[in-house]
Structure 1
């Protein structure tokens, strides 16, 4: 089996799918890329059993064949090569592989492609067309808030609710909740599923800008197909999380009479400065709200550290003191792009809502953060 391919094109396409390859996989064969050659199209597959990524690359060849090639060794070799056509010579009986470049020869041993796990199929019960920018924005705004607690598997992914009018992406770790809705993504039938965090993180890293994405869903799998570059297309197939997602709509408080409007960068920069003085374990900061004035303060009694800053804001409501985890707040604000934010609160022991005052077209973002109890409540 022999084929010629551009070193930079191969490196780019393999780098896009390499994130799936685990360092210590359950099955040793998964340390390899599966190369499958069908004349002038090379299909490369990487998998960790839960998630599979496939990319198609145009090559010069008139042959057919397959081999499993060590992923790390191949990528390290390609990273050190300048842009040039490279030739792969594969012995399909011994699985020995030879890579020929303008001035070098590299020999490595591959493995039998039969041992590579079968690629899961998605019985297309639902197909949705969307833009990569919309999907990327949805992932960026939600995936950071997923839980890392494997004892609550439903929260380790992003819940996707599809209707004829919109697509709603929801993520929560129990301390904060993000609801991101887009009206430019719709589905022919109502459906919902939980997509794992790892799959979305891989998708985020490999999605191209301004390209159409075809999303297909079955009962147990999801598939996302897009053109990774002019040289080839990429597909990601992942197993959906088969759990019941928490009833997020009931967790969102509806009566929030205390409303603060403030510049996002103003409060974010202040939080970053103040949180240095907060307790290293709780990251607790205090927001004290009075008419058109916000005081952000933090103290670490163990080290006698404390800090406070006053900011101008537009506040409509009763005087209020409420505590939050500064780490959660800064992460949420960092992921927003709006210039002005609206904080809606009701009481020191009730969740607060963060809603961008200026919204992008087709999108609706709501962020909920649980308060932390301040010792003055006792």
Structure 2
């Protein structure tokens, strides 16, 4: 079997696929890329046994169909530095060797039988389908993945929750201290359905999805999901279990409301946070008469910091404590220039919202307070 294709096209596909492969694998062949030539198209596959990624690239020429597996590391390192040029594979499957030729040289690598490569899990016939714009899905993963947990005792918290209801599609992430919930109103279903997407395929999608339009189709059943985007597919095993009732922790009436410049508040927090106690990272927010005062202190090392900034405030004077690093993460994952902070009292969760919601969406982030000593 012999085929030729663009070196840069091959390199970009292999770099993306390589992010699926683990450094240590239960099966040696999971360290390989699978190449399958069919009707002048090269289909490429990589897997870690729980996640499988497939993509394709058009060939310049090919003389036959066939498939083989080849080790990822040496091939990726060899083609990564090529300038744009034709690259030709000549595969001798009797001798289990592939000769790869380019303008100024060639190299050879061993190949393996691709039939030994694990197959993707089949999606059942009663699967649910969601069609979502790639830029919307990319933005939602970007703005929620930071809030997922790393909790061995509660694995359901370690992924992004997709909750399809008759009203909307809600995309949720929480670690128990902070929560992100975005409602997308132009996606809904009369039959409720949900799944928890693990962090690894979510991260892969975040890096792969284009911002220039196009739709992503997600088919899922109780155990697996198949996500089709552009010229690729990710098949992954879902996290099983019941996700916490996220609606129950979102307060419905927080009468004290701050409107403030997000970038200015983010900059102020970054200046004040280094002076907070390392173990608690507590920053006190005191709001009164249109002024927000941020205080951080670490008396063990005789460090304190205070910064004041103007804001629009309706409500009673209040002091409330938040974890500085978590609040910085929340502010960093908004796009709007101004944000609204809704507060009830120092013991109840605070809500952070953009001053203007994206079209057909309702974005909300929640932050649990910390105890402060007055």
Please indicate the TM-score interval, normalised by the length of the shorter structure. Answer: over 0.9
Measured in 2, the distance between the counterparts of 1:126 and 1:278 equals: 47
Residues 133-148 of structure 1 mapped to structure 2, 5 A cutoff: 133-148=135-150
> Per-residue deviation at 1:151?
1.9
The match for 1:230 is none
Q: 1:220 aligns with which of 198, 206, 223?
A: 223
Measured in 1, the distance between the counterparts of 2:240 and 2:108 equals: 44
Out of 289-298 and 64-73, give the one that drifted further: 64-73
Secondary structure of 2:112's counterpart equals coil
Distance 1:308 1:17, change over 3 A: same
Secondary structure of 1:375's counterpart equals coil
> Per-residue deviation at 1:188?
6.1
Secondary structure of 2:138's counterpart equals helix
Measured in 2, the distance between the counterparts of 1:371 and 1:6 equals: 54
Q: Is the contact between residue 128 and residue 187 of structure 1 (CA under 8 Å) also seen in structure 2?
A: no
Out of 361-370 and 12-21, give the one that drifted further: 12-21
Residues 60-209 of structure 1 mapped to structure 2, 5 A cutoff: 60-124=61-125, 125-187=127-189, 189-209=191-211
The match for 2:305 is 307
Residues 26-45 of structure 1 mapped to structure 2, 5 A cutoff: 26-45=26-45
Q: Is the contact between residue 161 and residue 168 of structure 1 (CA under 8 Å) also seen in structure 2?
A: yes
The match for 2:245 is 247
The match for 2:270 is 272
Out of 299-308 and 60-69, give the one that drifted further: 60-69
The match for 2:314 is 316
Q: Is the contact between residue 93 and residue 111 of structure 2 (CA under 8 Å) also seen in structure 1?
A: no
Residues 332-343 of structure 1 mapped to structure 2, 5 A cutoff: 332-343=330-341
- Please tell me whether residue 12 in structure 1 is matched to residue 30 in structure 2: no
Out of 343-352 and 169-178, give the one that drifted further: 343-352
Measured in 2, the distance between the counterparts of 1:330 and 1:324 equals: 10
Secondary structure of 1:33's counterpart equals strand
Measured in 1, the distance between the counterparts of 2:225 and 2:236 equals: 5
For this pair of structures, how many residues does the alignment match?
371
The match for 1:353 is 351
> How much is the aligned-residue C-alpha RMSD, in angstroms?
1.4
> Per-residue deviation at 1:165?
3.9
Measured in 1, the distance between the counterparts of 2:254 and 2:309 equals: 22
Name the TM-score, length of structure 1 as normaliser.
0.95
Q: Is the contact between residue 67 and residue 95 of structure 1 (CA under 8 Å) also seen in structure 2?
A: no
CA deviations on 1:39-70 (whole Å, 9 max, x unpaired) are 31211111111111000111121312221111
Secondary structure of 1:5's counterpart equals strand
Measured in 1, the distance between the counterparts of 2:278 and 2:173 equals: 25
Measured in 2, the distance between the counterparts of 1:322 and 1:93 equals: 72
Out of 214-223 and 326-335, give the one that drifted further: 214-223
> Per-residue deviation at 1:116?
1.2
Q: Is the contact between residue 164 and residue 186 of structure 1 (CA under 8 Å) also seen in structure 2?
A: yes
The match for 2:361 is 363
> Per-residue deviation at 1:75?
1.2
Name the TM-score, length of structure 2 as normaliser.
0.96
- Please tell me whether residue 236 in structure 1 is matched to residue 234 in structure 2: yes
Secondary structure of 2:62's counterpart equals coil
